[in-house]
Amino acid sequence: MKHSFGSDNHSGVAPEILEAIIDANNGFDIAYGEDQATKSLKELFKTLLGSNAEAYPVFNGTGANIVALKAMTQPFNAILCPATAHINVDECGAPERLTGCKLISLEHKDGKVSVETVKKELKEFGVQHHSQVKVLSISQPTELGTLYTPDEISELATLMHSFGCYLHIDGSRISNAAAALKLPVKEFTADCGVDALSFGGTKNGLLIGEVVVLFREELNTNFMFIRKQAAQLFSKCRFISVQFQAFLKNELNIRLAAHSNAMAKYLEHSLTMVPEVEISRPVETNVVFARISKELCAALQKLHYFYIWDESTMEVRWMCSFNTTREDIDRFVYDIKKLLTKQL
Ligand SMILES: Cc1ncc(COP(=O)(O)O)c(C=O)c1O
């Protein structure tokens, strides 16, 4: 496939990341995260996110979310999240199964929950018949590509803390958020009172690997065991760690993410004069949502790979990657225009 708008998971690996893997492929080192690269990575995350940030490499985004949530909960707890959350929709019930917690999905606006909505669920504490809310999990950016401001995150964290609860961020595309907000990740996570963060890599050009960051000492107590039991401890962990070192070096992560964000903006801009394409969500990171006719969709899917997000409203999702080019987008928009004039 030459290009896909289906997902940033459809892209390959950034050359700098592959090089880092090859460079690491000599000699021997200790396994299971006791290696030199992982030790250095842990220090690097402290520099990036503050001295209380404890970083733990894991395999994938689903695993990162599960072990982070498990560190914060007991099976009698409930986890709040917007209805669109990946943990709610796309993880096959794994968060419920592996944490034992009830997931309570909340109303949202373009993927974001408000303080008012969350407040309504903060109830029944101490009542033995009810699951005890312990965590709010939000995604930054959201699954709809939108962003919380640092103030909004701070407000949500303060609210959760006032009830003795935690705030988790699913940051599977956290670098896209940092690039779009033009802020260091620390300023909209640690500095806002976030307790745990799933820091993504794969969707921004890594071959494999994410990092769970825990900001509270008590969450670390059993984390090693939680990660191992959840099958998220990689023996040759150094090969994840060297990817993250290369990713964070000279802000490669921000450059890769800024490019995919810019491509989504370019796509949005290129479609402004096409009334048959209705942009349906604010374009704030690397994804464009749009409503198009069934006929256009069917014809376009014969030429380009992308997903229908909601069949009932004919909303489609076009996602850009670190290696999407302007030519990919020009070709896509050209094909849309041609199809609309029935010339293809
Ligand atoms: C917001 C979000 N969180 C988590 C994940 C899970 O990542 P993985 O597929 O690596 O388990 C995804 C994957 O698409 C995602 O979009």
- Residues 6 or more apart from 178 whose CB is under 8 A from it? 184, 185, 188, 253, 254, 257
Tell me the one-letter amino acid at 259: H
- For the Cβ of 170 lying below 6 angstroms from any atom of ligand 1, the answer is yes
- For the Cβ of 202 lying below 6 angstroms from any atom of ligand 1, the answer is yes
Distance (angstroms) between ligand 1 centre and the Cα of 286 equals 15
Question: Which residue out of 62, 287, 321 has the highest number of ligand 1 atoms within 8 Å of its CB and is therefore the one to mutate?
Answer: 62
pLDDT in tens, 156-177: 999 999 999 999 999 999 999 9
Question: Which residue out of 7, 59, 172, 174 has the highest number of ligand 1 atoms within 8 Å of its CB and is therefore the one to mutate?
Answer: 172
Contacts of residues 206-209 at CB distance under 8 Å and 24 or more positions apart, as own/partner, are 206/13, 206/14, 206/17, 206/243, 206/244, 206/247, 207/13, 207/17, 207/18, 207/21, 207/243, 208/59, 208/60, 208/240, 208/243, 209/57, 209/58, 209/59, 209/234, 209/240, 209/243, 209/244
Report pLDDT for 342. 84
The domain spans of the chain are: 27-247, 252-339
User: Is the per-residue pLDDT at 81 higher than 70?
Assistant: yes
For the segment(s) 27-247, the CATH number from 3.30.565.10, 3.40.640.10, 3.30.420.10, 3.40.50.2300 is 3.40.640.10
Q: pTM above the 0.95 mark?
A: yes
Count, residues in the chain: 344
User: Is the per-residue pLDDT at 344 higher than 90?
Assistant: no
The token duo for 235 is 């023996």
pLDDT in tens, 106-132: 999 999 999 999 999 999 999 999 999
- For the Cβ of 232 lying below 6 angstroms from any atom of ligand 1, the answer is no
Three-state SS at 79: strand
* 252-339 CATH fold: Aspartate Aminotransferase, domain 1 (3.90.1150)
252-339 and 27-247 share a CATH fold: no
pLDDT in tens, 282-311: 999 999 999 999 999 999 999 999 999 999
